[in-house]
Chain A
């Protein structure tokens, strides 16, 4: 059982931040790591990125978007309530070396996951530019937190309600044109966004990392649900990733595999969440 110390609705009813008391995980958590959690005894195991960790306080931060059954149940938990199982930190940490200038691109909830990676880059002395995007201003996350250690935070919204109007890739294109010294780009967000970032940086020859959100069950390399194709080779996102060379990732296959359970997920959500709502 893992206690929820603080809970904040970043976007009401939609995006939630939890600070958990998890000293063992906090002591080991590096940028790029994730946890697998289960909310109740009949529940599914789902992966969520560690958006921040404080080894001294013994806490980790998760930020999640409510998309289905498990995230909806998680959203109901309040401060001082506990999550049944939290396992981690899992995955390989993002490789972070002093390289000079980096750009971290985050889309939607991916901004939270990107936050930990951006912070790691800043800590080794890299100059970090964050580019964050969402449909509209009210869906933006972590802008203030990022501005604490990033040289610059560029905001892009589809409707132009904040920052530049357009996609993060538009902002990225402009930034890279003006800053030829960028050594590395990190992209965390929806598959189409990560694919677009990869296509943008490929001709420029800028090393690019994407964080893949494949479907997972155990998160320990035992099921193969999370298999992704990278450079033509099958890798397991949970133990070989979740971060991979974005130029080598087969994003079409990833997008197709994420659809595996769509109809059942709707059924599960309808059953569990609708019944609870009625109760």
Chain B
């Protein structure tokens, strides 16, 4: 047993302060945020549960090493501004991370209280700090201060390609050091997966907009509708005066199953479904012009965050029944624990150990999904037990099927830039310490390097590359 635990048993451990939520039956009919956020009193009560360990382990569990103990100490004293300053030292998007990080696998798993099953709710506290801080005027003054201490290095121009969390982080880091940063985004809106993928009820768009506004005021220029590799070539950016380029184009290429019937009407990739709903606001059709695939009996294939988001979106859009079909069991699902829990509360069915074998249809439209029952075999490379086919099949009646089984690297920039070395899986090969690619002064990070991962890992990669860029350009 380590140092923290005796202290803990001496003090009686109170349970985690529960997160106020919209009730399942209400929230399944709307797109407003599910988790409502702590009040100041709730946050302080939760912060008090922290043992302020001598040797805290929480920080090591966070991919961007947020000083959890440090910011929580400020919170105990109701000092939100101080807490925010601590978080912001290493995390540029705290309002986002507090909501979407898989905390149970990261900071909270590393917390000394984790063995009790009730670690400090670090994510919720982080969210509270960010939300409260952004709601106050403190935000504006901090930006003004950042502007004043900026070095006069407007000649140092850096381009970031893509506007997901990796690029936004790199842009913020470099802009704060005085670089003139331009973010090139192919879509018409900034934010990457945060706007086109993760739905409003988990991550309100206004939060992403606040973070982006923050960057704008730091002097970052955003160019939407610019596809690097098409509108402008990657290496051409150097001729235009950029001295370094960060590539954060993500893993947005949807994978299909390659089974019969996949082209039937009514079969969608989760990316298409979520893009129509989130980016194009198809939920407000016909007020918005983009049409939405309609389904009464919706089936979603997959077990990650993407599948959960698609399922819960379909439910909110009026599906009578939503079923998630997964090859393994709930215990192996890679989604955030909370998302599965919320989905089940909302009435989504999960059918385990089923693998899709064919889509069945009538007159070109989907009518059913044929699935094969699986059994769990030996563990595979990922340590999870491998599903093995049993030969038994059944047909699930469905008129809308959403495929969320994974994605590949965004292809446009890679195809247009033959000099960029890729790894065996087709992602960009980088030097793990600097983030530099095979092209000098071109850096990359986030999902385009790792394959589909998490927001906080993308941010960590953006930060690492930005630090290297800053050093090479003499900003630090």
Interface of A toward B, CB cutoff 8 Å: 24-25, 28, 38, 42-45, 69-70, 84-90, 217-218, 220-225, 227, 229, 234, 239, 253, 256-257, 259-261, 264-265, 267-268, 271-272
Contact = CB atoms under 8 A, between A and B. Distances in A.
B254 A222 contact: yes
A44 B230 CA distance: 21
Most chain-B CB neighbours within 10 Å: which of A43, A88, A218?
A218
A31 B44 CA distance: 63
Question: Of A69, A70, A84, A256, which is in contact with the most chain B CB atoms at under 10 Å from its CB?
Answer: A256
A79 B290 CA distance: 26
A265 B225 CA distance: 25
Contacts of A70: 289
Find the residue from A42, A84, A85 having the highest chain B CB count within 10 A.
A42
B275 interface: yes
Given A45-B280, A260-B265, A225 B291 contact: no
A224 B254 contact: yes
Interface string B68-83: 0000000000000000
Interface residues of B, number: 43
A260 B293 CA distance: 8
Given A24-B232, A217-B275, A267-B286, A87 B227 contact: yes
A268 B284 CA distance: 11
Contacts of A221: 252-253, 410-412
Q: Which 7 A-B pairs have the closest CB atoms?
A: A264-B291, A223-B272, A87-B225, A222-B252, A224-B269, A44-B289, A261-B291
Interface in B228-275: 230-232, 252-254, 256, 258, 262-263, 265, 268-269, 271-272, 275
B14 interface: no
Contacts of B287: 42, 271
Nearest to B272: A223
Contact of B364 (A42, A239, A256): A256
Contact of B187 (A218, A227, A264): A218
B330 interface: no
A87 B186 contact: yes
B232 to A, nearest CB: 7
Given A45-B290, A264-B285, 11 more contacts: A42-B281, A70-B289, A87-B187, A88-B227, A220-B187, A220-B410, A223-B272, A223-B275, A224-B268, A259-B364, A272-B286
A222 B291 contact: no
A272 B293 CA distance: 19
Per DSSP, are chain A's interface residues mostly helix, strand or loop, or mixed? mixed
Nearest to B264: A256
A90 B291 contact: no
Contacts of B293: 260
A113 to B, nearest CB: 18
6 contacts: A44-B290, A45-B290, A90-B230, A221-B410, A222-B196, A222-B253
B230 A88 contact: yes
A38 B286 contact: no
A239 B411 contact: yes
A265 B286 CA distance: 9
Contacts of A38: 188
Counting chain A CB atoms within 10 Å of each CB, the highest count among B227, B262, B287, B293 belongs to: B227
Contacts of B385: none
A227 B253 contact: no
Which residue of B252, B285, B290, B412 has the most chain A CB atoms within 10 A of its CB atom? Answer: B290
A69 B289 contact: yes
Interface in B268-307: 268-269, 271-272, 275-276, 280-281, 284-294
Contacts of B42: none
Contacts of B263: 227, 229, 234, 253, 256-257
Contacts of A224: 254, 256, 268-269, 271-272
Given A42-B281, A256-B364, A223 B254 contact: yes
Contacts of A86: 225
Interface string B204-244: 00000000000000000000111100111000000000000
Nearest to A252: B364
B285 A268 contact: yes
B289 A220 contact: no
Given A220-B412, A239-B412, A42 B288 contact: yes
B272 A217 contact: yes
A168 B196 CA distance: 42
Best-buried of A25, A90, A224, A257 by chain B (most CB within 10 Å): A224
A218 B289 contact: no
Contacts of A43: 288-290
Contact of B410 (A222, A225, A229): A222
Nearest to B189: A85
Interface string B380-401: 0000000000000000000000
Of B188, B226, B268, the most chain A CB neighbours within 10 A belong to B188
Contacts of B256: 224, 227, 234
